Amino acid sequence: MVKIGMIVGDRYDILERIGTGGMSDVYKAKDHKLNRMVAVKVLKQEFSENANFVSKFRVEAQAAAGLAHPNIVNVYDVGEENGVYYIVMELVEGITLKKYIEKKARLSVKEAVSIAIQVSMGIEAAHNNHIIHRDIKPQNIIISKEGKVKVTDFGIAKAATSNTITSNVMGSVHYTSPEQARGGYSDEKSDVYSLGITMFEMLTGRVPFNGETTVAIAIKHIQEEMPSPRDYVSEIPVSVEQIVFKCCQKSPDRRYQSMGELITDLKRSLMTPDEDFVKMVDPDEDGSTKMISSGERQKIKKQSVNRDGMEEAMHLRREADVKKSVKKKRYVPEYEEEEEEELDEIEYEYEEEEDEEEEDYDPKMERITTILAVVAAVLIGCIVLFLVGRAFGIFDTGLFGQKEEEAQEEEEPKEKVQMIEVVGKGEDEVKVDLLKLGLTPEIEYKESAEYEQGIVMDCSVGAGEMIEEGSNVVLPVSAGSEGVEVPDVVGISEAEAVATLGKGGFPVNKTEGHDAYIKEGNVITQSPEAGSKVPAGTAVTIRISQGPEVSKVQVPDTIGRDESEGMAILVEAGLQMGKVTEVHHSDPAMAGLICYQSYSVGDYVEAGTVVDVSISIGPEEAVYQFIESIAAPTAQEDPNYRSGTMVTVTLMADAGTQLYSTQTSSFPIDNPGISGIKSSTGYILFQYVNATEASSITHEDGSVTTTEASSETKEFKRTVQFMEG
C-alpha cells in the first residue's frame, strides 16, 4: 500500500495522488537521485495479486519503456517492491484533451489540426517500434502548460509482433474501430480510426456515434455511416473533413495506411485548407461495407446482459445444426474518470466464416433466433422484476419460506495514527509533519496579536488523540495583528493566481478585459494591490486578459524547436508556417532546429499571418586562403644561410595537408594564391644545404691556414596564419 511520504524504490518520495484509473493510481513524487519531479503509476492493491492484471501492467511498462519521443509521455523506470508494482514516468503538468475540449466547447480548425499532427507523430513513433496503442482518445492525450501535446497510457498497447494479440475489444467504445467492436484483429489502422474520431470531437465538440448503451454505440461504429463534421460546424474546410472521413472508413484498407500519410495530409491542410486533395480509396468487392449479420447482432446484444452482471442467455452460431449453450462470462470492471460514458474493456466473441454472404440467409434459422431472443427477454424481465420486488420488500422471504440475509462485506477499517503537537509551530513545518502521518491539513488564516504570522494557533484534533489515516485536520494559522499581506499575481496565469490567492486564504473575484501586452489568460490587475495588508478572508478581484482588442495575435517563440513543433506552436497561436529554408548556424547544438523566424517574438500581427522560418543545418565549414609572398630565411632563423642557396619550400596545413611545394634560389616567392584551405593555421617548411668551399689564408709570417670544404643540411618551420575567404 502506497502512502503519502513513503519512499518507493529507495529514491521516489511520494508527495500526493494526482489521478486514478481502472487498474492504477498515479502519484506525484520526487526522484532524489536525479533531483526531478516524476509521476509514479502504482497498480491498485486489489489487482496486485491477480496474475492477469499484473501481466497487463507489465506489458504497459515494457511497451512504453521502449518509446522515446517528444509527443509521448516518457517512461523512466519500472519496479516492484513488497508486492507494489509501479512505473515511473515523466511528470506532465497540464490538462487532458478531453477537458480542454469541454472547456472550449470545440477547437478551431488550426488548433485541432496542430494537435492532431503532434498526436500522429507520437503514435507514428510507437508504430515504428511495432507498438499499437489501441486506446486513442482525448482522455489519453495531455496538453502541457507549454503547449506540448503528449500521448499517454499505453496500458492496453500490444507489440504488433506479439502473439498475444487477441480478438478482445479494448479501449473506449466511443472511439473504438469497427474491427475492434467486432472482436477482430487490430493493427496500426485501428489507431488511425480512433484518431479520426478524436479529430471529429475536437472540431465539433461531440463524438459522431452515441447511444444509450455501449452495445448500441458499438453497433453504430460497425454499421452506420459517418456523419459530416460540416453539418455541425460549417466553417470546417473540405480538406480537413475529407481527412476525418478517410481516417474513419469502415474498412481498414480504405483508411490511411500509416501515420506518415496522415501527417502529410494534415500539414498540407494547413497550407491549402480549401483544396480537395485527399485521395479516397474506391471500395471494391473485398473492401465494401458489409452489413452485420443477424447472428452478429444477437451476439452484440448479449453483451448488454453481461454488462449488467447477468448470465449470457444464448450463444448462436451458423453451423449445420442450431445449438444452444449458456455460458457464464467473467467481467472485471475498470473505471475511468467518466465511468458512465466510457468502456475500458469489452469482450465480444465473434465468429466469422469464410465465403459467407447475405444470400445465405436461412428463414428457419431466423425464426429460431427470434424465439430464443423472446425467451431470453422474458427470463431477463423476470430477473429484473424479482430484483425490483426484493428492493421494495415484496420478496422478503425466499422461495423456501426462509428469510434471506443480505451478504454485506464489511469495510476494512482504516488505520489510525496518533496526532502530534502542532500549536506554536510554523505552518510549513506542521504541513510536512501531517502529510507524513497520512493526514490532510486545512489552513484557516486568522488575525492574532498573540501569535506571530505563520504560526499555528490551534488544531481541530488534540495532541495524542488517535485519528483515522486520511482525515482532515483544521489548523487556524496566525495572519498577524496587521492582517495578511496580499501576494502579487499580476502577469501570471489565471490558474496560478487563483491557487496563490487561495493558499493565502483570499477568496477570488474575476473580471475580464483586453490588454495588448498581457498574454491572454493572465492577470492584468488586482485589487487590493500586491503587498497591502488586509484582514484575513478579504476577497481579491483579478482582471483576466482577453488579449489585444484588435484581431491581432502575439508571435510565439519557435527558436530551438524542430519543424513540426514550430508549426504546432504557430498554428496554436493563430498563425501559419510559411517558407522553410535551410541555413548554416554557428551553434552546433541548433542543427535540425529552427534558428530564425521572420517575425520577432512578442510582436502583434494579424491572425493568419504567414511566418517564414529557417532550419539550421549546422555550422558552416570555414574556408581559408594563403595570399602572401614567401620571404627567404632570416638571420634569426639561420645565421649561416646565404643568398642564392637552392631551397625546397613546402606550405602545409595543420591538418597535415600539403598545399604548395617548390624549389628556388630566388626570394621572395610571389603569392601562390592558394584557397579552399580547411584549417586556419599552417607552416612553411624550409629544406636546403649550407655549403662552404675550401679556402686558404697566407699570413705575414708566411704561414698558411687552410679551411676544408663543408656542407650542412638545414630544415626548419615558419608558422603562418591563413586568412578567411
Of 489, 522, 517, the closest CA to residue 503 belongs to 489
Tell me if the bond preceding 229 is cis, omega within 30° of 0: no
Residue 66 is placed in which grid cell? 521502449
**Which stretches of 424-574 are assigned E, i.e. beta strand?**
440-446, 466-468, 472-478, 484-485, 508-513, 523-527, 533-534, 540-545, 552-554
Q: Are 307 and 292 in contact (CB under 8 A)?
A: no
Query: Is residue 629 helix, strand or coil?
Result: coil
From the list 25, 31, 77, 135, the catalytic residue is: 135
CA dist 656 and 679 (Å) reads: 10
Q: Counting runs of H as helices and runs of E as strands, what totals does the chain give?
A: 14, 36
CB contact set of 596 (below 8 Å; sequence gap of 6+): 559, 583, 613, 614
SS3 sequence of 106-151: CCCHHHHHHHHHHHHHHHHHHHHCCEECCCCCHHHEEEECCCCEEE
77 in catalytic set: no
Helical segments of 573-714, H only: none
Query: Is residue 512 helix, strand or coil?
Result: strand
Q: What letter represents residue 449's amino acid? A: A
Q: Are 43 and 27 in contact (CB under 8 A)?
A: no
- Categorise residue 576: left if φ over 0, alpha if ψ from -120 to 50, beta otherwise: beta
Strand 604-606 with 576-583, pairing:
unpaired
Question: Which residue in this structure is represented by grid cell 504488433?
Answer: 160
CB contact set of 103 (below 8 Å; sequence gap of 6+): 95
Q: Are 161 and 130 in contact (CB under 8 A)?
A: yes
CA dist 137 and 126 (Å) reads: 16
Of 714, 720, 713, the closest CA to residue 652 belongs to 720
Residue 377 is placed in which grid cell? 427477454
Give me the active site residues, please.
135
